[in-house]
Structure 1
Amino acid sequence: MSFVQVIEFDTTHEQDIQRVMDDWRDSTENDRTVTHTTLTRDHTRPNHYVAIVEFPSYEEAMRNSSMPETDALARRMRDLCDGPPRFMDLDVIRDEDL
């Protein structure tokens, strides 16, 4: 079963967030368990973002979370956010291309 983590946050530092995400992507190329990511910005609240991170399973998400690079990413993101991010951990129960 696939697993999705949704992270909601507010920031006025979008470009810095993008660089932090790029640095994490580059530094974890052979080790990360993330299969897909999407970063979105709320159309009506331009400082509100939602990141959608996909994994093959919950166990792989936890393995990814325990990586030192992921911990460094989380610390840097917290510094750039206006308040704490909100996390949702979701088991995918239906997924279809339409």
Structure 2
Amino acid sequence: MAFMQIIEYETTREQELEPLFDEWEQATQGKRTLSREFHAHDRDNPNHYVDVVEFPSYEAAMKNNSLPETQSFAERLRELCTTEPRFINLDVVSQH
């Protein structure tokens, strides 16, 4: 069963986000387990961002989250945030 993680956060340092994502992508080449990722910006709140990450399973998500590169990325993301990131873990029950 597919698994999705939604990460909501706010930052005023958006210019530092893209290089951070690029660095993580390069560092996890061949190791990361995600299927797809969407990085979105809230049109109505310029400091609000939402990332939607899809994994083939919950186990794959946990494997990805335990990568040292992912742990480092998460710490650095927190440093850029004005509020603590919110993580929502979802089991996909159907797709249309």
Name the TM-score class by shorter chain.
over 0.9
Q: Which amino acid aligns with 2:24?
A: W
5+ long unaligned stretches in structure 1: none
Match of 2:62 in 1: 62
5+ long unaligned stretches in structure 2: none
User: Aligned partners of 2:72, 2:84: CA distance in 1, in Å?
Assistant: 15
RMSD: 0.7
Per-residue CA deviations over 1:26-61 (Å, capped at 9, x if unaligned) read: 111100001110011111101100000110000000
Match of 1:47 in 2: 47
User: Aligned partners of 1:13, 1:94: CA distance in 2, in Å?
Assistant: 36
User: Aligned partners of 2:18, 2:81: CA distance in 1, in Å?
Assistant: 12
Q: Which amino acid aligns with 1:6?
A: I
Q: What is the TM-score with the length of structure 2 in the denominator?
A: 0.97
The alignment-based identity, stated in percent, is 47
User: Aligned partners of 2:93, 2:11: CA distance in 1, in Å?
Assistant: 31
Match of 2:25 in 1: 25
Task: Report the 3-state secondary structure (helix = DSSP H, G, I; strand = E; otherwise coil) of the residue aligned with 2:22.
Answer: helix
